[in-house]
Amino acid sequence: MKKPVLTLAMGLLAWQAQAQGTCATAVPIQLGNYYVTAIDGSQAPTTICTGDAVVGQHGRWYSYTADQDTSITITTDLPQNAGGDTRVHVYTGSCGNLVCQAGDDDSGSGYLSITTFVVEAGTTYIIAFDDRWNANGFTFSIQNAAPPPPVNGFIAQAVPITGSAYCIVDMNADGLDDAVSVSSTVININYQNAGGGFTNQQHTTTPADYLPSWSLCAGDLDGNGYNDLVYAGSGLTFMLANNDGTGYTELSHPQYIFCQRSNLVDINNDGLLDAFSCHDVQPNVYYINNGNGTWTWHQGGLGDQPDGGNYGSIWIDYNNDGNLDMFIAKCRGGNSPASIDELWRNNGDGTFTNVASAANGLADFQQSWSSAWADFDNDGDMDVMIGASSFSGGGHKLMRNDGTTFTNITAGSGFDLFNGTSIEFIARDFDNDGYVDVLGGGGLMHNNGDMTFTLTTVPCSNGPTGDVNNDGFVDVQNNNTVYLNAGNENNWVKVITQGTLSNKNGIGARVEVTTPAGTQIRDIVSGDGFRYMSTLTAMFGLGTQESITSITVRWPSGLVDVVNSPDINSTITIVENGTTTGVSSVPATALSLFPSPAHNTLHITGPRDLAGSRITILDATGKTVALVPAVQGAIDVESLMPGLYMLRIEGPSGTATGKFIKE
């Protein structure tokens, strides 16, 4: 039942019909109901706060200034709008720089919209409706509301993005995951604040030859301590972070590639990250890192079907031999051999052999674009759920790893009854119960712990994942909405791997967490699922376990580090040096060493006070060579023999390492 005052407000607004046509003329409104005659304003919102990025032709603009810290609901899901179709965007900022705070398309009944968001007293929120779907008139309501409750375990929060929001990874080397989106000339990073929330910063780049149309992956390609980005479109563009992570240099490779999944991985195990890309219509390709800022193009040896069919590559160690293998989820119509999945076993000598076969159940015509690898039964080896993108070539397949062979255990697992298809399937422990779940196909398949899975509803679809509020639970980003995992009582631990002999990120490392309940494993992967890049931090759920016996990292170099009795519910940074230790749970910070090669003096820079620090130089085998005093951030290295060294600083603010070469 409408109150008279609102009717009055409606009349007033109708009189002002032409005033709502642009952001600059947005009409201030109070709480109440408002009638929009039609979406006919000349300015359509171009910053889209809903998933579908298509811009409408016209808009209607309003503004609301909050008078208290509370939450607000804007809804068109009203009886008088039955059959209607609306879309709404909510911003802060100025008309020249609108920043999404909320937005909704179809959360209401039918195609109507509802959005609830937190407001701060004194802040003005700009509200824009557009005619993406139609221009018809409707009524909307703006009311105070309870804080948005978690929906099926997730709380939605808007974040500003630019272009493709395909990446959650730590970009400023503070140990916290950041949310990255990119366009041709902008790298937009929502840096996670140590105390929660984000600081948004946009870095301008030269125009990328290729956009991450098909996928994006990240890692520290040049080993300078800051993660770089790889855009996979019709070729690969590298965006290389400078030595303090404040700017990016574009390097686009000339070769045409019909890219699909891309990965960063040290293919030849020389300690340098290489870039791999699936090729849709040709054999797969990769760029081997020469270590001097150049990369050498290769095609062949890692999936050589002449007409491709390569969609979802993922690099894991399936046979626990310490060498990183690659599985390719493949797809192609017409019972083509290009659709037969491949498992490339790393022979440890620089060669790979496809060991997928009809016998082990991996080589068939199932149409897949990605696969979710994890030790679903916690028996010490990587199992796989190969998700169907279409059921035309067969259904989802849950394959149990029995050491070197696989057994199809789909029947009765729940995946046999799951009718959602997708190009995206990823393995994460969303509820930290110690059993890895599968997200994809429009639902979350919860691992019951006995190799059966139960479909649960989640508000998000697939996107990049990580921990963007540092609470130890896996969050998911869908475009400009971050779905924060509301968490539960379960314990957890996060492990950041810092390679020294191995690549800087420790990509390809096997991380084992042992508790009294048993051992869980993760492989550090750059690029899983089909399109997105997710955190390089290994996230483990511990369930009700109150202690960790040990964490073991088996590095690509062959070194093994063991950390005994680390804290639960903390982030453990493990630096590769082949020792058994306890470590600080304070995240390591970035360290820059120059010049490298060094002759007499090595300079140390980084956000670090060296006073009270212990500085160690280790050789390439991880053996301590010297304990040295630092004088004004400089170290005398004249007496060292020529070679590769690691420098480690342990101090009140944690541990940091860097590599240098002595000439």
Partner 1 sequence: MRPTDDPLFVFLLDQMNRKGPVLIAVGAVVAIFLGCRKDEALPPGGVEGGTPVSPVVLDLGSVPYPTLSQYHFFEGLMADLEPATGVLPYTPITPAFGDYAEKYRFVWMPAGQKASYVADGQALEFPEGAVLIKTAFYPKVLPTLERRILDTRLMIRKGGTWVFAEYVWNEEQTEAYLDMQGSNVPLTWADENGLPHDVAFRIPSEGECIACHSRYDERVPIGPKPQNLNTVRQYPEGPMNQLAKWVAAGYLESGYPAAIETVAAWDDPQESLERRVRAYLDMNCSHCHNEGGFCGYRPMRFSWSESADPAALGVCIPPDDPFAQGVDYIVHAGNANRSMLYYRLSSTEEAVRMPLLERTLRHEEAIQLVADWINSMPEPCP
For 368, what's the count of Cα atoms within 13 Å in the CB-facing half-sphere? 32
List the x/- string, 299-338, binding to partner 1 by CB under 8 A.
Answer: -------xxx----------------------xxxxxxxx
Q: How far is the CB of 185 from partner 1 (least distance, A)?
A: 16
| Residue 626: CB minimum distance to partner 1, A | 52
- The arrangement of strands across the sheet holding 178-182 comes to 164-169, 178-182, 186-192, 198-204
Reference 384, options 366, 392, 393; nearest CA is 366
Q: 311 or 352: whose CB is closer to partner 1?
A: 311
Measured in degrees and rounded to the nearest 5, phi and psi for residue 339 equal: -90, 0
Please give the Cα distance from 263 to 216 (Å, whole number).
8
Q: Which is nearer to partner 1, 235 or 622 (CB)?
A: 235
Q: Extract the tokens encoding 31.
A: 């709480």
| Interface pick for partner 1 out of 183, 234, 456, 514 (rule CB under 8 A) | 234
Question: In the bound complex, what is the minimum distance in angstroms from residue 364's beta carbon to partner 1?
Answer: 13
Nearer to partner 1, 86 or 545 (CB): 86
Q: For the purposes of burial, counting CB atoms within 10 Å of the CB of 638, is it exposed (0-12), middle (13-18) or buried (19 or more)?
A: exposed
Nearer of residues 330 and 400 to partner 1, judged by Cβ: 330
Using CB under 8 A, which residues numbered 569 to 608 contact partner 1?
A: none
Using the minimum distance from each CB to partner 1, give the nearer residue, 419 or 565.
Answer: 419
Whether residue 595 has a cis bond before it, omega within 30° of 0: yes
Residue (of 179, 293, 166) closest to 232 by Cα position: 166
Would you say the C-alpha torsion 525, 530, 532, 534 has a positive or negative sign?
negative
**Least separation, in Å, of the C-beta of 318 and partner 1?**
26
For residue 319, give both structure tokens.
């046979």
Residue 35 or 133 having the CB closest to partner 1: 133
What are the structure tokens assigned to 82, written together?
């039955």
Contact 494, 571 (CB under 8 A): yes
Query: Contact, 387 vs 441, CB < 8 A?
Result: yes
Unique residue bearing structure tokens 């990509």: 507
User: By rule CB under 8 A, what string of x and - marks binding of each residue 164-203 to partner 1?
Assistant: ----------------------------------------
Number of residues that bind partner 1 (CB under 8 A): 44
Q: Are 625 and 567 in contact (CB under 8 A)?
A: no
- Among 34, 62, 214, 492, indicate the residue that binds partner 1 (CB under 8 A): 214
Window 73-92: residues binding partner 1 (CB under 8 A): 87
Q: Least separation, in Å, of the C-beta of 86 and partner 1?
A: 11
**In the set 17, 25, 124, 133, which binds partner 1 (CB under 8 A)?**
133
Q: Shortest distance, CB of residue 114 to partner 1, whole angstroms?
A: 14
The C-alpha atoms of residue 355 and residue 143 are separated, in whole angstroms, by: 60
Compute the distance between CA of residue 489 and CA of residue 464 in angstroms, rounded to an integer: 24
Cα–Cα distance for residue pair 69/63, rounded to 1 Å: 17
Nearer to partner 1, 328 or 574 (CB): 328
Residue closer to partner 1 (CB basis): 286 or 645: 286
Q: What is the DSSP string of 358-375?
A: TTTT--S--B-SEEEEE-
CB of 105 to partner 1, least distance (A): 5
Compare residues 323 and 339 and give the one whose CB is closer to partner 1. Answer: 339
* Pairing verdict, β 571-575 and 453-456: unpaired
- The Cα–Cα gap between 265 and 245 comes to 21
Task: Return the residues of window 281-300 that contact partner 1 according to CB under 8 A.
Answer: 281-282
Q: Which residue has the tokens 């009311």?
A: 143
The residues pairing with 522 across neighbouring beta strands, listed in sequence order, are 511
Task: Show the binding pattern over residues 91-130: x = contacts partner 1 (CB under 8 A), - = does not.
Answer: --------------xx----x-------------------
User: Is residue 52 involved in binding partner 1 (CB under 8 A)?
Assistant: yes
Q: Does 51 bind partner 1 (CB under 8 A)?
A: yes
Q: How far is the CB of 134 from partner 1 (least distance, A)?
A: 8
The helix/strand/coil state of 555 is coil
Q: Which stretch binds partner 1 (CB under 8 A): 49-57, 352-360, 509-517, 579-587?
A: 49-57
C-beta of 421 vs 534, nearer to partner 1: 421
Q: How far is the CB of 74 from partner 1 (least distance, A)?
A: 18
Show the binding pattern over residues 619-648: x = contacts partner 1 (CB under 8 A), - = does not: ------------------------------
Q: Which is nearer to partner 1, 52 or 638 (CB)?
A: 52
Q: How far is CA 650 from CA 309, 540, 587, 645, 654, in A?
A: 48, 26, 11, 16, 6
Q: How many CA atoms lie within 13 A of 517 on its CB side?
A: 17
Of 369-428, binders to partner 1 (CB under 8 A) are 389-390, 392-393, 421-423
CA gap 464, 212 in Å, rounded: 13
Residues lying near partner 1 in the complex (CB under 8 A) are found at 50-52, 54, 87, 105-106, 111, 132-134, 211, 213-214, 233-234, 256, 258, 279-282, 306-308, 331-339, 367, 389-390, 392-393, 421-423, 442, 461
